[in-house]
Structure 1
């Protein structure tokens, strides 16, 4: 990482500490995060309620978007050029809005005006391929096309600039037990980098041809890979959970045909999920989702945007 993790003790009140920004949102379980540089706020999602909230640099959480379409909001990406906040919508059976019709069956994406919160688009992708579904993470390329991973079906969807939804990439490489495709970023040189949660593999996929899929050669698997952040063309931050609870930076000098791994850094809380960049700093969401998904675990409402 660019700077070492600061501070060792956990913060127990909302606000700023050496280790980051602590905030309280009633059992929100925020999975996704996006920084809005003009508003100077973090957008955060909610696996439990679906509500999109804002978190200030002082650690104040405010509900922003409350939409019945948001069963569970997962990954977030901000298209700053078009002032659109894109949201991956799913149902892990742990939402206040979960139902038999949507649990483990929903892959959708919604777009909202990042200033007003007004919904601009909604696409249900679930019928594009048969099987279970979970829209997980998304990325926007320079032209404004949006790419969405599905953790339960071996596909990546695309919403083009005209609003047409399609299956962009489909491969047996994306198949596996449990959660498969997860984090995704769009590289400015014309390809996607996508990780596979259970196997720890990372794929390089051309945005011009979804069938052009290459496995990035890594010295070891990055298992439990969740959200990713492309800091620049050669540095990729990967957030790991599944018991790892750490953040690792990958470096590539050959156009992501291969990459090396820098030493990983542990997170303060359990189940880190996603990352965003504020200036030179990286903030990682400590979602604590394990306490939501474990039936009898005590539920929590305090979360940490950990600063690296």
Structure 2
């Protein structure tokens, strides 16, 4: 019988009940789920920074700043190591290139990892590319050698053609890596410079109208960077202040989500902002704000079936040397 409900499965997910109902109509199958409120990355001293959701596998990928490894975690909280080798020092931003079935990660060294060395701290800046199906490493691309100085590869995005763009928090640089793996400096602009030891450029997203939106952490500013004319960089004027800019997520062409956290010591709330535009990101309006619990340090975001999730990374505890280290890191569902 068409549209007949043929299976109802009741499962327990992280202390509450989640229902999965699979419905078949001839050869077409769909699934509806009540998503968990929280998915716990449960590993002592892990300290994740970036998250990205893979819809085809129903898992998040996240990387560890402290341990320099990458794991997958499903909606039941089951964890599996994706990559863990001596070349991974601190994993920050990551993105899935769906078209080319690649996981793309930033490998760098802010100085708080167990694999930190004097030669890599504040110097290492790499893009590492993995095949999602085989988990094999496709390429390791050195960005730091493109320009002398301090470097921290922070966040990454990809356009529709498979070109990769990476922000550098310690240099005023946005890198580009083409589909063949060739790296170049897309932008080197003093507008993006930050004081020594401070984080400058951070979150980055690709907009389908062929430009980038990037965030400058230390100043709480957003910029629009044209890809057809990289000298065309304009600040996105907001109707209110955001204290810092970490991860960015474009949920549609005119809606941007922004994670703001506090590593400065200044007394301000950590929050998730929903920002909307009516003029193609010349300006933005803060439509909603979600204040996160004290000390959770939200960094990056992704969406599952229109539900928003953010990773609570507890990085303030890592950078301040809190002991014993944190053991649980929620990927938390939030709503405005």
TM-score class, shorter: over 0.9
CA–CA separation in structure 1 for the residues paired with 2:212 and 2:277: 14
Aligned partner of 1:60 among 58, 78, 85: 78
**Which residue of structure 2 aligns with residue 11 of structure 1?**
none
CA–CA separation in structure 2 for the residues paired with 1:202 and 1:262: 16
Alpha-carbon shift at residue 225 of structure 1 (Å): 1.1
Q: RCO higher in 1 or 2 (8 Å CA, sep ≥ 6)? A: 1
Q: Confirm whether residue 45 of structure 1 aligns to residue 63 of structure 2.
A: yes
**Which residue of structure 1 aligns with residue 241 of structure 2?**
221
Q: Confirm whether residue 272 of structure 1 aligns to residue 317 of structure 2.
A: no
- Asked if the contact 2:44–2:325 (Cα under 8 Å) also holds between the matched residues in 1, the reply is no
Number of residue pairs the alignment of both structures matches: 295
Aligned partner of 1:133 among 148, 151, 166: 151
Q: Confirm whether residue 255 of structure 1 aligns to residue 280 of structure 2.
A: yes
Aligned partner of 2:257 among 237, 241, 246: 237
Larger Rg: 2
SS at match of 1:133: coil
CA–CA separation in structure 2 for the residues paired with 1:159 and 1:62: 28
CA–CA separation in structure 1 for the residues paired with 2:118 and 2:158: 31
Alpha-carbon shift at residue 116 of structure 1 (Å): 2.2
Q: Which string of whole-angstrom CA distances, capped at 9 and with x for unpartnered residues, describes residues 232-267 of structure 1?
A: 000000011015321001101111010000231122
Q: Which string of whole-angstrom CA distances, capped at 9 and with x for unpartnered residues, describes residues 87-132 of structure 1?
A: 0111111111100000111111100011221101111111212221
Q: Name segments (4+ residues, structure 1) moved above 4 Å.
A: none
For structure 1, list consecutive stretches of 5 or more residues without a partner in the other structure: 1-13
CA–CA separation in structure 1 for the residues paired with 2:221 and 2:234: 11
CA–CA separation in structure 2 for the residues paired with 1:48 and 1:194: 25
> Superposition RMSD on alpha carbons, in Å?
1.4
- Asked if the contact 1:16–1:58 (Cα under 8 Å) also holds between the matched residues in 2, the reply is no
SS at match of 1:290: helix
**Which residue of structure 2 aligns with residue 294 of structure 1?**
320
- Asked if the contact 1:228–1:274 (Cα under 8 Å) also holds between the matched residues in 2, the reply is yes
- Asked if the contact 1:16–1:57 (Cα under 8 Å) also holds between the matched residues in 2, the reply is no
SS at match of 1:292: helix
TM-score, normalisation: structure 2: 0.85
Alpha-carbon shift at residue 297 of structure 1 (Å): 4.1
Q: Which string of whole-angstrom CA distances, capped at 9 and with x for unpartnered residues, describes residues 202-229 of structure 1?
A: 0000122222111111123322210011
SS at match of 2:283: coil
**Which residue of structure 1 aligns with residue 29 of structure 2?**
none
Aligned partner of 1:211 among 216, 219, 231: 231
**Which residue of structure 2 aligns with residue 148 of structure 1?**
166
CA–CA separation in structure 1 for the residues paired with 2:322 and 2:40: 25
SS at match of 2:180: coil
- Asked if the contact 2:275–2:288 (Cα under 8 Å) also holds between the matched residues in 1, the reply is no
**Which residue of structure 2 aligns with residue 8 of structure 1?**
none
Aligned partner of 1:196 among 213, 216, 220: 216
Alpha-carbon shift at residue 296 of structure 1 (Å): 4.0
CA–CA separation in structure 2 for the residues paired with 1:32 and 1:229: 12
Q: Confirm whether residue 93 of structure 1 aligns to residue 92 of structure 2.
A: no
| Greater fraction strand | 2
